[in-house]
Homo-oligomer: A and B are copies of this chain.
Amino acid sequence: MPETVLAVLTAPDAGREAPEPFRFVDPDTAVLQVRDLGATRGDGVFETMGVGSGRAQAVDAHLARLARSAAMLELPEPDEAAWRAATIAVAERLAHHAEGFVKLVYTRGVEGTGRPTGWVLGSPSPDHTAARTAGIDVVVLDRGLPHDSAGELPWLLQGAKTLSYAVNMAAIREAKRRGADDALFVSSDGFLLEGPTSSLLLQRGDRLLTPSTSLGILAGTTQAEAFRFGRAQGLTTSYEVLTPDALADADALWLLSSVRNAAPIKAIDGVARSIDAEFTSRLNAHLLARRD
């Protein structure tokens, strides 16, 4: 039973014919040329989906976001059928693991060829029990950009899930340097945004809140599912423009992502926060049980 599974797409962009949409490749072999613009310019987009017992989760939502990110980078439209086929096939090979994930990567391809590169990598998930139950320590970091940069300055690619994640990785290192587990970005003009690899969820009374995607942040697929779960529990949900005051006013807070799922925030900048263990447990059970 392989621990890691790799499928390389034969024709990741729409409109090209290929005898087969993908082929399985040994993930330890070299697949990429050094002139691939994904490797030299971070010029591409990606998605990460949870996999439950061999079934990729929220496939439609992730493929839709992959296409949106690609459009923002003016990449060729991805061939949705090919990506879906590769995603499902890789996920199926993880069927013996309760939890896994697949990562879809779509780059501009080898410079000069005009042919993008695409692959789907699958792997069993690390154990996220501690983050899901005991919670995580978070530090607030300035993202440097104003809240309206996405609309005004589209070349900044805010809201696209690009391969240019060096800043996101540096923010997580900064959080760990400060003794925390993860970071939460605020805009330079003081609005709550998102984590480097996650969405922010707040609960206040009978309401679930998350920062508006008008702020140039990713539309979170796990956040959307958490909203659906919340509404089924009788909570109201809304996308809002929030300042850090909203953190202090919240009854409970989470960072949401596709593999770790809901991680309750137990401290912000060193100040302890109470977590709602019961709601968190039910939310994570719901997220883990998805089979679409």
Contact = CB atoms under 8 A, between A and B. Distances in A.
Contacts of A119: 34
Q: Is the interface of A mostly helix, strand, loop or mixed?
A: mixed
Interface string A262-277: 0000000000000000
B155 A141 contact: yes
A103 B67 CA distance: 31
B29 A32 contact: no
A166 interface: yes
Given A29-B33, A40-B103, A121-B35, A167 B156 contact: yes
B73 A170 contact: yes
Interface residues of A, number: 55
Contacts of A31: 30, 32-34
Contacts of A169: 37, 41, 43
Residue among A32, A103, A170, A174 with max Cβ neighbours from chain B (10 Å): A170
Interface in A1-45: 6, 8, 27-44
A130 interface: no
Interface of A: 6, 8, 27-44, 46, 73-74, 103, 105, 107, 119, 121, 141-146, 149, 152-157, 160, 162-171, 173-174, 188
